[in-house]
Amino acid sequence: MPELPEVETVRRSLLPLVGGRITGVDVREPNLRLRLPDDFARRIHHLRIEALQRRGKYLLFGLSNGETLLAHLGMTGTLLLRPTEAPPSRHDHVRFRIDTGGTLVFNDPRRFGSLRLGPLDSFGEIQHIGPEPLDEAFTPATLHAVTRGRKKPIKTLLMDQSCVAGIGNIYASEILFGAGLRPTRAAHRLTRSETARLHAAMRQVLDEAVALGGSTISDYRDGHGRTGYFQLTFRVYGRDGEDCTSCRQRIRRIIQAGRSSFYCRSCQH
């Protein structure tokens, strides 16, 4: 589920938690993708949330002891601010009571998500993440450089978090449609003008998706339980067999690296 636009929307929706203190931790299911350590609740109890940032698809809660709570939502994870008196729901794995009101709940049916607590530099998984595509420092030249020497299909490269941060299966297909590029193109064969188009499409699609609160297919919700609306603007994702909105050719679905890719054979080359 959650790619950059969804994670960024969750981050913004949870900003009111900054300044709050964690006054209770209830671990109901420690077996997430990474098993929560036995002392997780004790170590985080009584800490204040001082910052909430995003890196790729990760959320980073800066805590008052200098450590960070690193959260990844996997495919079906949500971080929801619920009334403290609300009874736990199915798949509520961890609940954090916040003194400024409400309880932050980590809910994740498939348990592909993860929570980790520790010093920022102890998190190996975020050390090798590529540039943030919405940062000003991310230029067409940055993207062009990333594609050099990479023979794999551009769609697979876009989803490689060490190449660019935060792009997943939905946005890879939508961005490539925007750029007019087939997902099967070998990354290293893209010309400079094609990588420039790709850069522009990346900005346009991701900016628009953030503006619309991300994409809700089934599970995704922001911190207040609200859905996103970008799925209403999908041009290719999940639309195989339907007509292209631009040329009326049938949208195709192919499998790349075990994941579905969607594209239009006449609009993308």
Partner DNA sequence: CGCACCCCCTGCCGGC
Partner DNA sequence: TGCCGGCAGGGGGTGC
As measured in angstroms, the least distance from the Cβ of 211 to DNA is 16
Determine which residue in the list 130, 153, 183, 223 makes contact with DNA, applying CB under 7 A: 153
Q: Are the beta carbons of 252 and 263 closer than 8 angstroms? A: yes
What's the rounded Cα separation, in Å, for the pair 131 and 103? 33
Hunting for tokens 């859905």 — which residue is that? 227
Q: Indicate if 57 belongs to the active site.
A: yes
Q: Indicate if 235 belongs to the active site.
A: no
Burial 162-197 (b: 16+ CB within 10 A, else e): ebbbbbbbbbbbbbbbbbbbbbebebeebeeebbbb
- Catalytic residue selected from 2, 5, 133, 153: 2
Q: Indicate if 152 belongs to the active site.
A: no
Contact flag: residue 88 with DNA (CB under 7 A): no
Determine which residue in the list 12, 45, 50, 125 makes contact with DNA, applying CB under 7 A: 125
Q: Indicate if 83 belongs to the active site.
A: no
- Catalytic residue selected from 11, 57, 82, 155: 57
- Binding residue count for DNA, defined by CB under 7 A: 40
| Span near DNA by CB under 7 A; candidates 19-27, 39-47, 140-148, 152-160 | 152-160
Residues 191-230 close enough to bind DNA by CB under 7 A: 215-220
Alpha helices in the chain (DSSP H): 4-14, 40-44, 140-147, 154-158, 169-179, 192-211
Q: Are the beta carbons of 206 and 134 closer than 8 angstroms? A: yes
As measured in angstroms, the least distance from the Cβ of 45 to DNA is 27
What's the rounded Cα separation, in Å, for the pair 60 and 128? 16
Contact flag: residue 111 with DNA (CB under 7 A): yes
Q: Which residues bind DNA (CB under 7 A)?
A: 1-3, 6, 33, 56-57, 72, 74-76, 90-91, 109-112, 125, 149-153, 156, 159, 161, 168-170, 215-220, 231, 257-260
